[in-house]
Amino acid sequence: MRGGGMGNMQKMMKQMQKMQKDMAKAQEELAVKTIEGTAGGGMVTVVVNGQKEVIDVNIKPEVVDPDDIDMLQDLVLAATNDALKKMEDLTNDTMGQFTKGMNLPGF
């Protein structure tokens, strides 16, 4: 019986090591992904990467109205938040597969 307990512990350690390796790979894959957020029916587009950095902002020329800069600022803000939310959802979906069924405080 004693030896069986050590075998189970070793098996569990190997499973944890594999999970850590798989998580690191998933994080690397997420780091190179990009997500696009939009506002104003596509008038403003913001692209973020997996590290949640804004890497591109596109504004269609017809949006630019010098008399309504507040609207443009609101659209950029909305598109940025849309992109960041989508990246957060993708990250949670991807990384959540590793904690499914586990009771890990803080996750």
pTM over 0.85: no
pLDDT of residue 9: 85
Structural domain count, the chain:
1
pLDDT grade, residue 1 (50/70/90)? very low
Q: Is residue 106 part of a domain?
A: no
Q: How is the beta sheet containing 34-39 ordered, strand by strand?
A: 34-39, 44-49, 54-59
What's the token pair of residue 94? 């991807």
Give the domain extent around 80. Answer: 33-99
Query: How many other β-carbons are positioned within 10 Å of the β-carbon of residue 87?
Result: 23
Q: Is residue 18 part of a domain?
A: no
Q: Is residue 76 part of a domain?
A: yes
Contact (Cβ atoms closer than 8 angstroms) between residue 44 and residue 79 = yes
- pLDDT (tens digit per residue) in 54-93: 999 999 988 877 788 888 889 999 999 999 999 999 888 8
